Structure 1
């Protein structure tokens, strides 16, 4: 039994297999020929594995950059990391987390079928992270056994359906009408960025319309421009680290000349981004047609909610602007926390790249270049303040030196943790009741069966 549960957990944690299963179901529902079912199923799987490989290259190269910055500028504190806190929690809450994951996925499909929240959340590893957070917080409030699993599964399934809907009008602007949704638990930060962009970006030109003279036209190649920008990042961090302690810097550079290491790492980072783009194109080529089968036969009007990196090719320049602006916001947030006497939240390069880049894309969609910069900057502040506010909640659960990095984890963790501390289990029941009302109310307010908010409007 344990082996079977472990097998199911591993399947549900893998977005590649989830996408493949959904694509398979959709193609079968469309009565597609067997050979096209095979290729249409493998396409999203291979595409996501390619995306994950590219993301792995990016993460591997961001780690030494973070260490160079910490050493070069003498920064110490807590670095938010979803994987780290999850690995600690799994040792204590493994069965509860896996059970919440399964129940949450099934309820997400149920809500998509019977409510107007037609969004199917396909980013399995983020569902796993959220299941871990929910099991920890609910357990601390005093829930146990099947009740903990049912409540946690409901919260996961409900947020998986609701969070893509909250900002779907913004997402449609990003994709120019392609019917995909945001399936990533940094979503509230992206929607905030889009809202900020709509307020500050009037008449600001799109990031992708930058006027570049002929001699600089090579910068339109996003792989080259990304590589050059990241090389500059690495060189600045390397110079600061060398000036402080050259021997430590050489150790961080794995024995290589630090400056050669910096240049190579910056260029390798750009290769990772290029692999991500290639994987995204492969996913979209097969997943969206397969979803027509899901929408037509199984879950009418269903919309896939996909990982944040899937949106990178829609505005490649905004990716870099968003990353840089979010990182600056994170640095300012760290300084404010230091002055206020709080725990220093060191800007994690991974959340600031993936979440900051996506915030830049959403800010650009409503406010052009100004929206991309200011919106992503606001996201960067959230990535500093929310983990700091979540830290005491997790500290009571025994996770004192690590915290979740993305915005939705912070918002839900703080909300549930503070309610549980102040008014006990009744606070959790109140949140469950509110989410249940949100899910069913649109069915009574309109006879439409279309996915809620899946309408592109001028913002």
Structure 2
């Protein structure tokens, strides 16, 4: 018995609590089950593990770069600040869990495995559950598992035990399966029967937009008829877009803070101080802003590296165990089926909505300053515009992406306060983590275990309602859209 306990303790301390090696192990097991050659199994393990380590380097760099600015803001204005972006949110959630709940450092990684298993089970039992989709966007699962882990651990104290990790995994799996299942009809309609669903950060938003867009305008009056400025095309490049956004936002903040504060060692206790003798303050601002883009790029490269292996392992398993299911993939897969102008229009009007709301937060002296991040402002609002334009034309696309931008900032500020993330510099920020996850968080806070159970029940009921509403039950499983739609 002691031998078994020692093995389990070793596995817990060295694997479960070390996400890089746990992800590598998942890939190793997945490839082994798929009967890959030994050298491919080993290569997949190495790429996944090293990729996660690269992610950690990027995340650590973001923290190091952001902390001096956060300290300066607190010193000058007594205000917290947070970037609404899933990569910043991933770093913030993991850091807070490590500091406040050190026994649950590996919770998110374990929850990812449990959640994927729950998703597989729900699809395997689709005649009972009415769930048709398998969420296979691995890097999104990593981000969401971390944020959901923090929400549950912080707001449901009764689950700060071994059952808590299981509970987090279950609710992750329910969200992934059910929310992606909600996008089947909208995506089939958009793509003309493309055979995939969306597994990203805005599934609830896509479902909602598909329902309400026709009330905003006519689908015949779409964005193909509008001409947009060519300069907006530079924002197709992630590096250019993220560096520009960081320069605008952090540049403005650093200008307001001034060189005196940023060179004060008593205020800036960690990170890079501004040294007047070595560099002009103007160049310091540019370098600091671009440094965010550098670490974000490093983080994303690490994510791509391990996710490509993780996704292959997941897809192989799903194709063997769950033939006929819909893969839920990155939302970018939908962009090629909409108007070429929709992506940039969604980005532009979503950003406008965010900027208006940020100004209002400053005017009304909100205790948390929200800084926009690239992923929500681009991917959420681009997707909303693509789906809205298909159903309600340009009026729906521009209006709904603008409203999304407002909600991202306003509800992001509420979430940062609720979760105590102002001192950690980030929150997930995507629209699904404003609605429905912010209301879920309040249910957890005030109802505890009962609130958690109600949310799980809510997830289980949604596909039942979808199925009950379907006129043709077999068409529902096939993802077919009635001809009148």
Q: TM-score, normalised by structure 1?
A: 0.67
Give the distance between the partners of 2:335 and 2:61, measured in 1 at CA: 14
Cα deviation per residue 1:211-261 (whole Å; 9 max; x = unaligned)? 75xxx8xx7566679738955973786478547735557877775445556
The reply to whether residue 346 of structure 1 matches residue 369 of structure 2 is: yes
Secondary structure at the counterpart of residue 300 of structure 1: coil
Q: Tell me the residue number matched to 2:325.
A: 302
Do the aligned residues in 2 keep the contact of 1:185 with 1:408 (CA within 8 Å)? yes
Summarize the Cα distance change of 1:89–1:53 in structure 2 as closer, same or farther, 3 Å threshold.
closer
Report if aligned partners of 2:196, 2:328 keep a CA contact under 8 Å in 1: yes
Q: Distance in 1 between matches of 2:331 and 2:22?
A: 12
- Give 1:227's aligned residue: 240
In the alignment, which residue of structure 2 is the partner of 1:79?
A: 82
Distance (whole Å) between structure 1 residues aligned to residue 124 and residue 58 of structure 2: 32
Is 1:113 matched with 2:124?
yes
Which residues in structure 2 correspond to 1:239-388 (within 5 Å)? 241-242=254-255, 245-246=258-259, 256-260=279-283, 293-306=316-329, 322-337=346-361, 343-349=366-372, 352-368=373-389, 373-388=398-413
| Distance (whole Å) between structure 2 residues aligned to residue 58 and residue 182 of structure 1 | 31
CA pair 361-64 structure 1, distance change in 2 beyond 3 A:
farther
CA contact (8 A) 2:51 2:301 kept: no
CA contact (8 A) 1:45 1:283 kept: yes
Aligned 8 A contact 2:354 2:405 in 1: yes
Deviation, structure 1 residue 357? 0.5
The 1:435/1:59 distance shift into structure 2, 3 A limit, reads: same
Q: Is there any run of 5+ residues in structure 1 with no aligned partner, and where?
A: none
Which residues of structure 2 form unaligned runs of 5+?
A: 1-7, 264-271
**Distance in 2, Cα, partners of 1:14 & 1:174:** 39
| CA distance 1:280–1:449, shift in 2 (3 Å) | farther
CA drift of 1:298 comes to: 0.9
Q: 1:11 to 1:56 in 2, by over 3 A?
A: closer
Q: Which moved more, 1:449-458 or 1:4-13?
A: 449-458
Are the counterparts in 1 of residues 79 and 367 from structure 2 also a CA contact under 8 Å?
A: yes
Alignment of structure 1 residues 62-211 onto 2, 5 Å:
76-79=79-82, 82=89, 83-95=91-103, 97-98=107-108, 100-115=111-126, 116-121=131-136, 122=138, 123-139=141-157, 142-143=158-159, 145=161, 147-171=163-187, 179-189=195-205, 199=216, 202=219, 203-206=221-224, 210=228
Which string of whole-angstrom CA distances, capped at 9 and with x for unpartnered residues, describes residues 280-305 of structure 1? 99999999998775454211233444
Counterpart of 2:31 in structure 1 is: 24
SS of the residue corresponding to residue 301 of structure 1 reads coil
Residues 154/204 of structure 1: CA separation in 2 closer, same or farther (3 Å cut): same
Structure 1 pair 362–155 and aligned structure 2 pair: CA distance change class (3 A): same
RMSD between aligned alpha carbons?
A: 5.7
- Residues 455 and 281 of structure 1: is their aligned pair in 2 closer, same or farther, counting only changes over 3 Å? farther
3-state DSSP class of the match of 1:347? strand
SS state at 2:223 partner: coil
Which residue of structure 2 aligns with residue 429 of structure 1? 453
Shift of 1:127: 1.7
TM norm structure 2: 0.64
The offset of 1:404, in angstroms, is 3.7
Partner Cα distance (2:286, 2:34) in 1: 45
